[in-house]
Amino acid sequence: MKSYKVEGLIYYTKLTLDSKHILNDSQADVQAKLDEYAQQGYRLTSTNTVSFGAAIYIYLYFEKDLD
């Protein structure tokens, strides 16, 4: 049997000349979530992003085997 988790992260666009500001801002947060779930025995199985209005939603899907 497996255990599943979904983690959602939201980033808002802002007025800036840096066209990659969301990428730069999100990398540390995504890495922290990957490390957090890896310590609990989960592995990343899939990702998804959705753009809605001025926001970007990043979904991280994790799973682990239950003993």
The DSSP line for 23-57 is HHHHHHHHHHHHHHHHHTT-EEEEEEEEEETTEEE
Task: Please state which of the ranges 16-25, 40-49, 57-66 shows the lowest mean pLDDT.
Answer: 16-25
CA dist 30 and 35 (Å) reads 9
Q: How many domains does one find in the chain?
A: 1
Domain that holds residue 34: 2-65
pLDDT of 54 above 90: no
pTM for the full predicted model: 0.84
Element holding 22 (H helix, E strand): helix 21-39
Higher per-residue confidence, 24 vs 66: 66
Residue 24 confidence (pLDDT) above 90: no
